[in-house]
Amino acid sequence: MAIIPAVPSFASNDSSLANLQSLSYAVSFLVDMSVRPIWHLYTGSTHAVTANTVTTESFPLVVYDNDLVSDGTGVTIQTAGYYAVETALDFLYSAGTSQRTMAWFQLTAGANNPNLTNGTTKLFGGEGLTASNFTTEDLAMCPADICPYALYPGDQLRVQYNSDTACTRETNLNNSYISGRFTPNFTGRMVRPV
């Protein structure tokens, strides 16, 4: 859990080392992304998407996670605050079909959230795209949003999607300039403490 800084009070001509160190940490928390909670997760697998079925993506691989929020599927918040999130997903379309795909973020409130009942789910940051008659070409979606709810320890964030046509959620295969170019990932950072 990240330590939320306390901004010190300075008296006239106060230059005490303790106050200067407290001020330094408070400034670092605001501007240094290695101090404030941040994560970047990804998956290296490709899988089939069933038509008209909500799918929760798993992100078992960690690039960085300085607040230990990764739980294999998404994140479980450790430090209370407001968070900005983004994800990137690639979907391989079937030849000659029209397809609508949507992706969004799901918040599931934990027991420590004073504003939402434990287990309540909220969806936010949705994006939808329609593609028609592409042959073996991916549709890349990159929803991003600031969670409209303050998050508390135990709250969970997930990436979900749905397609009206069976397809494949791709990963970086690096074998074509129009297909499999992005690794599905989930990134987030604290915008400010509660």
pLDDT of residue 13: 79
Instruction: Out of 25-39, 78-92, 136-150, give the one with best mean pLDDT.
Output: 78-92
Average pLDDT, the chain: 86
| DSSP state string for 14-66 | ---HHHHHHHHHHHHHHH-TTTS-EEEEE----EEE-TT--EE----EEEEET
pLDDT of residue 120: 97
pLDDT of residue 119: 98
Domain ranges in the chain? 37-193
Distances (CA, A) of 126 to 24, 36, 146, 159, 179: 38, 26, 12, 10, 23
117 burial via Cβ count (<10 Å: 0-12, 13-18, 19+): exposed
Query: Is pLDDT at 138 greater than 80 in this prediction?
Result: no
pLDDT of residue 182: 78
Instruction: Kindly state the tokens that stand for 101.
Output: 């795909």
Nearest C-alpha neighbor of 139 from the set 122, 107, 164, 158: 164
| pLDDT greater at residue 182 or residue 118 | 118
The pTM of the full predicted model, rounded to 2 decimals, is 0.84
Architecture of domain 37-193: Sandwich (2.60)
pLDDT in tens, 162-173: 998 888 888 876
pLDDT of residue 31: 66
Instruction: Kindly state the tokens that stand for 17.
Output: 């080392």
pLDDT in tens, 43-64: 988 889 999 999 999 999 999 9
